[in-house]
Structure 1
Amino acid sequence: MKTINIGGVPEHFNLAWYLTLKEGLYKKDQINLRWHDYPDGTGAMCEALRDGHIDMAVILTEGIIKDVIAGNPTKIIQTFVKTPLIWGIHVAAKSQFQAISDLKGKKAAISRYGSGSHLMTYIHAKNNGWDLKNDLKFTVVDTLEGAVTALNNGTADYFMWEKFMTKPLVDTGVFRRLGKCPTPWPCFVIAARTNFISQNKPELQNIINTINKATKQFKSIPDIDKLIAARYNQQLADVQEWLSLTEWSDKQPSEATIYDIQQQLLALDIIPKTVPYNALVHLF
């Protein structure tokens, strides 16, 4: 049996992975798939891919594109979630900030540089007409818990994170949400190290086939909304809204989509150049 390591955020987007692992579905193909949680997000997974600590990752599209262009020996296998990620823009509940405009030039908490919480501040700033060089400042907080501490002790002023995962903190009066900012592209992809791809093509295909079958059936699992609500400390109505907004994919991102994402990242000065489609996406 071959051991393969995969990483992802411990969020409801990845529940299908947990369910397939719990059912032992990869073992029938002689695969010992080991899941690793990365609560500190995309930047940490990019580092783990570079270091070879994981072979695969379920990772934010913009983050892995940026890191592959920067030299990460990894390629996108397919889109995992094809709908946008809805980022909430949060401040401490007792902070003085009352509107998005109050955050111009203030310090954003980010999990780490190159993470989604970092890159999406540029999208948000552009949407609001801010100066990308002078109006963005950052404090690295590692995790959601780190952001709670930073916003409440004043070492950071606002924090962008997935709207539904932070909703319990809004409900309990830890955060206030001033607005939201959806990604202008499909949010999650499955990526793998290039040397892993070349040496494990049958195993990779089997993993992809298994998870794609699971995501196609995910919304029809009896009481899946109740399971998600209980597991992730969510209100049932919020889970039902999230399920209505979220669609998984079993397809590779199109060349046009990859081109468009790169153009947007280049315009924001997040990447220094664009690269060909096959430099980012593994062609089967």
Structure 2
Amino acid sequence: MINLKIGGVPEHFNYPWYITLKNKEYTKHNINLRWQDFHGGTGQMCKALREGTVDIAIVLTEGIIKDIAAGNPSKIVQTYVKSPLIWGIHVAAKSSFKSISDLENATNAISRYGSGSHLMAIVNAYNQGWDISNLKFKVVKDLQGGIDALSNGSADYFMWEHFTTKPYVDNGVFRRIDDCPTPWPCFVIAVRDEVLQNNSNDVKNILKVINNITRDFKEINQVDKILAKRYQQKEADIQKWLAITEWNDSEPITTELISEIQNKMKTFNVISKKKDPELFIKNMYI
């Protein structure tokens, strides 16, 4: 049996992986797939892929594209969630900041450089017409770090996935000023090059299993109640999230999509120049 390690954020997007792992779907293909939660998000997972401490990662599209361009020896094998991610823009509940325009010269809490919270802060700044070179960041590692930084005043605002942070808005820790959706499909599945070279068929089998569950995920009996309980969300919020979330269940990632995303990232000054789209992807469906 082949041993492979996979990682992702401990959020509702990745519940399909929990189901397949709980049901031992991968052992049927002679694969011992072990899951690791990454509370630090995409930046932490990119580092783990580089170091070989994880083989497969469910990462934000913008983060892994930037990191592969910077030398991460991995490839995107498939889009995982093809709808945008909705990033909430949060301040402390008692903050004097009332609108996005108030945040132009404020300090932004990010999990780490190269993470989604960092890159989407740049996208948001571009959307607002701010001078990106003047952005100020404080690295806080994870969601709890963002909560602490806004609570103690060491940072002024924090961008994180809308529904994951909704409980903290409801209980008065955060106040959400606005939302900023990603201008591209939000999550992809990335695999280390070494694994693709040595275990290509295993990766294909893993994709078959996960695509089979995401294809009908919304039809699972009482899935909204299950997710609400597991992730401490309100059922109404989970229902809203399910309504706007669309998984990819087999479509290969294309060079055209990578090129389009790079064009936008270059416009946003997230990357300085485009690279050959073939550098980023491995088509597992041929």
TM-score by structure 1 length? 0.98
Give 1:3-22 correspondences, 5 Å limit.
Answer: 3-22=3-22
Distance 2:176 2:271 in 1: 29
Give 1:62-211 correspondences, 5 Å limit.
Answer: 62-134=62-134, 136-211=135-210
Identity %: 55
Q: Which residue pairs with 1:25 in the alignment? A: 25
- Secondary structure of the residue aligned to 1:6 is strand
The letter of the residue matching 1:47 is: K
Mapped pair 1:252 → 2:252: yes
Report how far residue 264 of structure 1 moved.
1.5
How many equivalent pairs are there?
A: 283
Report how far residue 253 of structure 1 moved.
2.5
Report how far residue 283 of structure 1 moved.
2.8
Distance 1:104 1:86 in 2: 20
**How big is each residue's C-alpha offset from its partner over 1:49-104, in whole Å with a ceiling of 9 and x where there is no partner?**
00000011000000000000000000000000000000000000011111111100
CA RMSD, 1 decimal: 0.8
Report how far residue 252 of structure 1 moved.
2.2
Q: Which residue pairs with 2:226 in the alignment? A: 227
**How big is each residue's C-alpha offset from its partner over 1:214-272, in whole Å with a ceiling of 9 and x where there is no partner?**
10021111000000000000000000000000000022223222111111212222223
**Which consecutive aligned stretches of 4+ in structure 1 deviate over 3 angstroms post-superposition?**
none
**How big is each residue's C-alpha offset from its partner over 1:17-41, in whole Å with a ceiling of 9 and x where there is no partner?**
0010000000001100000100110
Give 1:254-269 correspondences, 5 Å limit.
Answer: 254-269=254-269
TM-score by structure 2 length? 0.98
Q: Mind listing any 5+ residue stretches in structure 2 that lack a counterpart?
A: none
Distance 1:100 1:201 in 2: 46
The letter of the residue matching 1:239 is: I
Q: Mind listing any 5+ residue stretches in structure 1 that lack a counterpart?
A: none
- Secondary structure of the residue aligned to 1:133 is helix
The letter of the residue matching 1:137 is: K
The letter of the residue matching 1:276 is: D
Assess if the C-alpha contact under 8 Å between 2:253 and 2:283 holds in 1: no
- Secondary structure of the residue aligned to 2:90 is strand
